[in-house]
Amino acid sequence: MTLTTTGLRKSFGGVVAIDDADVSFLPGRVNALIGPNGSGKTTFFNCVTGMIKPDAGRISYGGRDLTGRAPHVIARAGVGRTFQLCRIFPRLTAIENVLAAVRPGGLLHGLRSAHRRHELERAHHWLTRLGIEHLAGAEARNMSWGQQKLLELAGVLMAEPATILLDEPAGGVNPALLDRIGTLVRELNAEGRTFVIVEHNMDLVMSISDHIVVFDRGRPIAAGPPAEIRADDRVLGAYLGV
């Protein structure tokens, strides 16, 4: 399903973070959203996923109007996301974290579901798929930053979203894990999931993206395949400082 915004606008006091942004991401593809710091990327994600309400404009997913809807409503519609700073339960084990994310009922519902063999099997499946099954019984606070990022993604995948928004998945991770994240995104995309990735690591962006949207000062200035974005003078000027 196609995720689009029309005339999206968000201000904080006198600062315009998103400025009449018309954006469309390609369904079934790996999309990237890039731009300099302060260009509005995370604010855009927060509006799309219901973390904050836009001042104006429309957010549409598969033709359904999601503008201003609550985060759990948007998640049920099939849009999942991760955050720059991992949102996990530090004192719960990895398996408990994944179970807590399994249904909109949240932590209590997820833990009550722990006796359900099907949910446990799915939780172990995603921990294994992401390469952290050996940490199933470890408390999240004792995991590395990169492992916590994978744990957060495992929780997102438990909800089976069709579209996943990743906010700086490469931030603070080592090169080996960075390669693993890139491979995972491509594998999950090949299985039918759409991705939208906010990322500053241009090597990762250019290697895994099919479609790139470039933000500057709260609005898109370019959109297209990686080769086209590399050669765009507006991108070189605004993002690369050339």
Has residue 111 got a pLDDT over 50? Answer: yes
Higher pLDDT, 238 or 9: 9
CA–CA dist 9, 20 (Å, integer)? 5
- Among 71-75, 166-170, 176-180, 237-241, which is the least confidently predicted range? 237-241
Domain ranges of the chain: 1-76+161-169+194-242, 79-159
* 13-25: average pLDDT: 93
Higher pLDDT, 85 or 194: 194
Has residue 107 got a pLDDT over 60? Answer: no
Task: State whether residue 221 is helix, strand or coil.
Answer: strand
* 24-35: average pLDDT: 96
Give the model confidence (pLDDT) of 168-205 as tens digits. Answer: 998 888 888 888 899 999 999 999 999 999 998 989 99
Which structure tokens are listed for 26?
A: 């390609």
- Architecture per CATH, 1-76+161-169+194-242: 3-Layer(aba) Sandwich (3.40)
What's residue 103's pLDDT? 53
Q: Please say whether the dihedral angle defined by the alpha carbons of residues 87, 67, 53 and 27, taken in this order, is positive or negative.
A: positive
What's residue 104's pLDDT? 47
What's residue 108's pLDDT? 54
The CA-based angle 227-49-4, given to 5 degrees, is 50
What's residue 231's pLDDT? 86
